[in-house]
């Protein structure tokens, strides 16, 4: 005897979600079985409506309730585009108080994961730059080899187009101890040192 | 700007599930947004059907597709009742090859969590013992203070009823090193030593 079929099926499906293993799936299903029916129903309906109600902004590919996201619709935003890999990066940059607009690539160039530049929203970025006027493009891809490659690829295009662009600074993370930051970071933070 | 309302709502709901924090909830929602609509819909429907299709066995309170679970319905099972706290304990004991039946208490006596003996299926166990005939009751609550208290409480009742009963053995976990098992476990394993 194991769990009833419905329970086993749900555990299998939950295991496919990121960060959930068999043990967590078991705990989640047991929690749902004990929880009141109404709140479990609301969770299920929320999951269903996620795919129906949430779409990508047709300009910047941010998640949106509407055809254009609240940032693109906001006319007070500075005419700067910050290019990010994923929506979660955009959310974090928003928290810094950045007041420009964004362009979400939907990933990074990664031959190992079979993602080439054509799979990303790079052409759409070029079209936007031709159509709208921006004072600067900030390339905010991750400081990983893939993020760096993507940044270089985009930088090459922007140079040809004559568009002013920049890359996020490398350096010491705030609150870190030099002992633990790693040689490459330390090297970059020396190269990028600021005169006081 | 943060995530669209639907996304925020779903993240909040996911955070209430055991083992899921804000970061995991964010990753799960992003995964669902990227995943194809059909498989996300199936997940949501599986959650809904969980509450509709799965119930508790009216005899032993195991999870069941039917009024009586497959173990209680199996006439070849030995006439022994193994009393466990939760269904997940039953599932684990099944894996050992145990061929008796079970009784799921639905928790353990815990004054701190406001769970008293009357909140557990102890009366139902007594009724079962009066109604059906069993050769032995194995008390398999957890080796925690709460599990121990629950075991002692049940043992007191069974003694008065004159029902033969036993408790799972304490001792060294298989594969552990004595250095790491803890003094209480070691003490119990000395007390329970077997002559070779």
pTM of this structure: 0.70
Confidence band (pLDDT; 50, 70, 90) for B1?
low
The per-residue pLDDT for B171 is 85
- Regions in chain A scoring below 50 on pLDDT: none
Nearest Cα residue to A34 out of A7, A8, A2: A7
d(CA B114, CA B134): 31
Are the beta carbons of B63 and B87 closer than 8 angstroms?
A: yes
Torsion angle of alpha carbons B87, B92, B98, B104, nearest 10°?
A: -20
Report whether pLDDT(B194) > 80. no
What's the pLDDT at B35? 86
List pLDDT tens digits, range A17-38.
999 999 999 999 989 988 888 9
Q: Is B49–A20 a contact, with Cβ atoms under 8 angstroms apart?
A: no
**CATH for the stretch B5-53:** 1.10.8.420
Distance in Å from the first CA to the final CA of chain B: 71
Nearest CB among B1, B69, B71 relative to A71 is that of B1
Residue of A nearest to B24 (CA): A19
Per-residue confidence (pLDDT) for residue A1, from 0 to 100: 59
pLDDT tens by residue, B4-26 = 888 999 999 999 999 999 999 99
Q: Chain B: residue nearest A94 by CA? A: B1
The complex's ipTM?
0.71
Answer yes or no: is pLDDT of B178 > 80: no
Q: Which of A5, A26, A42 sits opposite B88 (nearest CB)?
A: A26
> Yes or no: is domain B73-174 CATH 3.40.1360.10?
yes
pLDDT of residue A95: 86
Report the pLDDT value the prediction gives residue B20, as an integer from 0 to 100. 94
Tens of pLDDT, residue by residue over B78-128, are 999 999 999 988 988 888 888 999 999 999 999 988 899 999 999 999 999
* Residue A88 sits at the chain B interface (C-beta within 8 Å): yes
pLDDT digits (tens, 9 = 90+) for B48-59: 988 888 889 999
Going from N- to C-terminal start, the domains of chain A cover 5-53, 73-174
Q: Are B32 and B40 in contact (CB under 8 A)?
A: yes
Which of B30, B40, B53 is closest, CB to CB, to A47? B40
């Amino acid at each position: 005897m194991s769990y009833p079929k419905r329970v086993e099926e749900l555990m299998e499906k939950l295991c496919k979600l990121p960060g959930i293993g068999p043990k967590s799936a078991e705990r989640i299903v047991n929690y749902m079985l004990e929880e009141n029916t109404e709140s479990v129903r609301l969770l299920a309906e929320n999951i269903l409506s996620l795919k129906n109600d949430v779409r990508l902004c047709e300009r910047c590919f941010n998640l949106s309730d509407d055809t254009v996201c609240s940032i693109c619709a906001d006319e007070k935003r500075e005419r700067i585009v910050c290019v990010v890999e994923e929506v979660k990066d955009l959310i974090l940059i928003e928290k810094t108080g950045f007041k420009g607009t964004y362009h979400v690539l939907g990933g990074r160039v990664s031959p190992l994961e079979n993602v080439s530049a054509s799979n990303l929203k790079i052409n759409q970025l070029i079209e936007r730059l031709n159509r709208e006027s921006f004072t600067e493009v900030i390339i905010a891809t991750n400081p990983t080899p893939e993020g760096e490659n993507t940044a270089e690829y985009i930088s090459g295009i922007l140079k040809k187009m004559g568009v002013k662009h920049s890359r996020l600074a490398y350096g010491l993370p705030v609150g870190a101890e030099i002992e633990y930051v790693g040689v490459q970071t330390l090297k970059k933070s020396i190269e990028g040192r600021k005169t006081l």
